[in-house]
Structure 1
Amino acid sequence: MDKLNKNNNFKVPDGYFDTLSSDIMKKIAKEDNSMPLNEGFKVPEGYFETLNTKILGQLENIPVETKVIPLKSYKKHYYTAASVAAVVLLFIMVQFNSDKTLSYSDLANSDIEHYFEFNDLELSSYDLAEILPIDDLDLNDIMESRLDNDNIIDYLDSYIEDFEELNMHNDD
């Protein structure tokens, strides 16, 4: 209301609404006498007396069995319910099939070797030595075939003549 145009040129005279209803009633009383009686629409003589019987006569001619056409179609509701059920079923199936989480053991060794072979990691052997913990590393982890202690001792017996060359102490 504060933003109304204050330069409005339309004004209502003082006391206009106080006498408005009495002025309107005076004009209506003057016009009732001046209305012409023969102008406007005319209704034929006896029209309303015979109207009721004409309507009932037309109703009797209507066949008793009529086809009722529903205004509201329920097919839309069936289609909506079926589509919602399909979406829920699809969602449940996707959730059921996606429960399996992949882990490092699921990868094939050939995939891992292929990745390291064809992707340049820019890591030198010194960088790898710093990253890999030596305490947890076992020789059998590096080699493809496992070495048994018996095989190692047999090898050393056959090819090494002096154990002292290996700087090993034999407590046997």
Structure 2
Amino acid sequence: MKDNKLHNIKSTGFKAPDNYFDTLEDRLFTEAKLKANVSGPGFVMPEDYLDGLENTILNKVPKAKEPKVISIFSKRTLVYVSSIAAAILLLFNLSILETKPASFDTLDMETVENFVLEEDVVDSDELASLITEEDLTESGFIDTNFDENQIETFLLEHLDVEDLLVD
């Protein structure tokens, strides 16, 4: 409620004495002239003060102990690092991480057939050159025993029904 009349206040509440600002300039100049008449800055430094200052400060500071320096390339660390390097080198040379390559005995016949058929690495002429006349003799086919299930599976997979129909 008291704040309602704040916008109606016309005086600042501060008063200056009469003719205060008329004589202010004269008083400032008078005071500045008095300070200018003082000779020197007011501070005096003794002669040769800076010459002995460094020695005085160093005498007051306590002497620090020389820190112990540990060499990086000491014999002990060199032995540790070289033994770790030798262990890693042996790990790779002994082939602990290396797997043995597959031999021809472990390959499936189906895998080889799929590779030859799908990769187009070998064409039919190259395969024909590998077969000798001895492989194609009648006795080679007679000695081979086929199971009925194998023959049936082959016929179902490789023959069309239309090939079996006789016109």
Structure 2-normalised TM-score? 0.32
User: Over alpha carbons, which structure has the higher Rg?
Assistant: 2
Structure 1-normalised TM-score? 0.32
